[in-house]
Structure 1
Amino acid sequence: MTGPHLGTRPAAWTAAIVLSVTGSGLVGSGVAQADDIGDLTAQQIADRARDALLDAHSLHLRTHGDLGRDSTPMSLDLTLDRSGNCDGSVDLGDSQGSVRIVKRGNDVWVRPDADFWRNQVPDGGAAFAAILNGRYMKASATDPRLLTLTKACDPHTFQKLVSDNADNDAGTLNKAATTTLGTASVVPLTRMRDRTTLVLYVAATGKPYPLRLTLRGDGADATADFSAFDKPVPTSTPPPDESFDINALLGRPTETA
């Protein structure tokens, strides 16, 4: 099982929006306190928001929607930390399937749904689903067959995409008046590009974390929400009676040189 639609795709999906709003210039002056940002320019606020995001030890990431230009709508709901612990799910959209993921230390549990087996593993997927009967596949976090899944649980994947690709600052970034997002006070930053509107909502109190990113126009309609910064990932893992050894299902992975 290769999981061709997962792996870096969720991270790339969100990083694409982050970079579209914040642009280039990763070298900054450190994370400013939010009570400083009212006097900063839009780009300075965006830089500090990006720094705060990259410095976070853990976070809850929720995304949904369509980036446009023939992309497939998808969503993810993950809590993850820098140690690689993770709890959540990825939904490929359009009834293509979803996968529940739990990663703790050196172990990972994945539970694809029936749509995933049918669409992503058409040759034998139904048989695998029947054997699992709703249980998780348990494996080593380094199992090569699940690396495309476990990458979605690693914040370094997302953070590296942001760092390596921060080279597009086309379009003017504008700062709007402080407003509210739910119960949070935020400063909206807007960038117009190629008939699309990108908005970054930055916390106006506490650390200047990015709390929401939106992309609208030219076929795109996407949102990414960030929360629970530096809060622990849930520690509970599936019990043995709800788990099935991946090697018993798929055989042992082939050794590579």
Structure 2
Amino acid sequence: MTGQRIATRVAACAAVVALGVTGGTAAQADDIESLPAAQIADRSREALLDARSVHLRAQGDLGKDRAAMTVDLSLDRDGNCVGGVDLGKDEGSVEIVKRGQDVWVKPDADFWENQVPIGGQTFEEILDGRYMKGSATDSRLRPVVEACDLDTFRELVTDNTGTTGTTFTKGGVTTVDGIRTVPVTTVGHGQRITAYVDTGGEHHPVRITVRGDGADAAVDLSRFDEPVPTATPPPEQTVDVSAVLGRGPAQS
């Protein structure tokens, strides 16, 4: 299915997070506001890597030829996840639930119409408002599984950590959703990326913005280390993925 397209856009949001929190040598000073910009960025990166769970909301235009979209997910290192992806411009949205080795996906009517023009209406009729349910080992659901694992995001952060040549500037203290933050900004590839770092607690990045080169997006991060909701769709609201996409689940 076109879940790969969803995963690509989710990964793009994760890349925004990764690019926004790359720093230099770690520092342990208590007064983060007094630290150089690069050290603040590094502290926020380490805090993000240490998180056991997080709620991520990304919205906006991520660049040229990419429609504005929204990703809203709560996810943890155990691969549990709940939330959704809205592709924007009436292109469709998908609700996602993953718990252990079980995955539930519910695309809406616009998704089937726009993302699966051949056969989408048939799939929609089979589901009739219910979730597709499958195993995390089913290759057809791999894009959703990968997007729902916090370790995937942590790997992107680690892989994109700058070691040399990254310059940061520090802005004045500002408030983001009631949280006192200090912004640190880096510019590259025609884009200006700013991480708003919590001045208290573990110094998590609570908002990251990317502007320029066709992009105008924000990623909000919250609920660090809070459990992902455990509710899953009841059996009467699910259809086996093979009944929708074909018999014989593909195993990874």
Using the size of structure 1 for normalisation, the TM-score is: 0.89
- Give the AA of the match of 2:105: V
Q: Name the residue aligned to 1:106.
A: 101
Equivalence for 1:75: 70
Once the two structures are overlaid, the 10-residue window that deviates more, 105-114 or 118-127, is 118-127
1:154 aligns with 2:153: no
Q: Report how far residue 180 of structure 1 moved.
A: 1.3
Q: Deviations over 1:48-106 (max 9, x none)?
A: 10111111000000000112222232210000000000000011223221110000011
Whether the 8 Å contact between 1:54 and 1:159 is mirrored in structure 2 is: yes
Report matched runs for 1:197-216 at 5 Å: 197-216=192-211
Report the CA distance between 1:148 and its aligned residue.
1.0
What 5-or-longer segments of structure 2 have no aligned partner? none
Supply the AA of the counterpart residue of 2:102: D
Q: Do the aligned partners of residues 166 and 241 (structure 1) sit closer, same or farther apart at CA in structure 2, a change above 3 Å counting?
A: same
My pick for the range that moved more, 229-238 or 93-102, is 93-102
Q: 1:142 to 1:15 in 2, by over 3 A?
A: same
Figure out how many residues of one structure are paired with residues of the other and give that number. Answer: 251
- Is the aligned partner of 1:145 residue 2:149? no
Letter in 1 for 2:67: T
How far apart in 1 are the matches of 2:185 and 2:100?
A: 39
Cα distance in 1 between the residues matched to 2:68 and 2:241 = 29
Q: How does 1:82-231 map to 2 (within 5 A)?
A: 82-167=77-162, 172-231=167-226
Partner Cα separation in structure 2 for residue 46 and residue 29 of structure 1: 9
Per the TM alignment, residue 2 of structure 1 is displaced from its structure 2 partner at its CA by 4.3
Equivalent residue, structure 2, for 1:239: 234
Provide the rounded CA distance (Å) in 2 between the counterparts of 1:12 and 1:162: 12
After superposition, the Cα gap between the structure-2 partners of 1:76 and 1:255, relative to the gap in structure 1 and judged at 3 Å, is closer
Give distance in 2, aligned partners of 1:67 and 1:247.
33
Structure-1 residue corresponding to 2:247: 251
Q: Is the 8 A contact 1:141 1:147 kept in 2?
A: yes
Instruction: Please say if residues 106 and 129 of structure 2, whose CA atoms lie closer than 8 Å, have aligned partners that are also in contact.
Output: yes
How many Å separate the matches in 2 of 1:158 and 1:113? 26
Q: Is the 8 A contact 2:140 2:250 kept in 1?
A: no
What's the counterpart of residue 5 of structure 2? 5
Distance 1:221 1:170, change over 3 A: farther
Structure 1 letter corresponding to 2:41: A
Q: Which AA in structure 1 matches 2:14?
A: T
State the partner residue of 2:45.
50
CA distance in structure 1 between the partners assigned to 2:251 and 2:198 by the alignment: 48
More displaced 10-residue stretch of structure 1: 38-47 or 175-184: 175-184
Change (3 A) 1:178 1:254: closer
Q: 161-170 vs 61-70, which deviates more?
A: 161-170
Residues in 1 aligned to 2:4 and 2:206: alpha-carbon distance in whole angstroms: 29
**1:13-57 Cα distance to aligned partner (Å, 9 max, x none):** 2323531x33465xx548x47x33122110001011011111100
Give the 3 Å change call, closer, same or farther, for CA 225–169 of structure 1 in structure 2.
Answer: farther
Percent identity, aligned pairs only, is: 52
Q: Give the aligned residue type for 2:21.
A: T
* Native 8 Å contact 1:5 1:92 kept in 2: no
> Which residue is 1:22 aligned to?
21
Q: Is the 8 A contact 1:7 1:152 kept in 2?
A: yes
Alpha-carbon deviation of 1:122? Answer: 1.7
Q: Give deviations 1:117-164, integer Å, cap 9, x for gaps.
A: 112222211011011110001111111111112211111111112212
Q: CA deviation at 1:195?
A: 4.7
RMSD: 2.1
CA contact (8 A) 1:12 1:158 kept: no
Higher alpha-carbon deviation: 222-231 or 3-12: 3-12
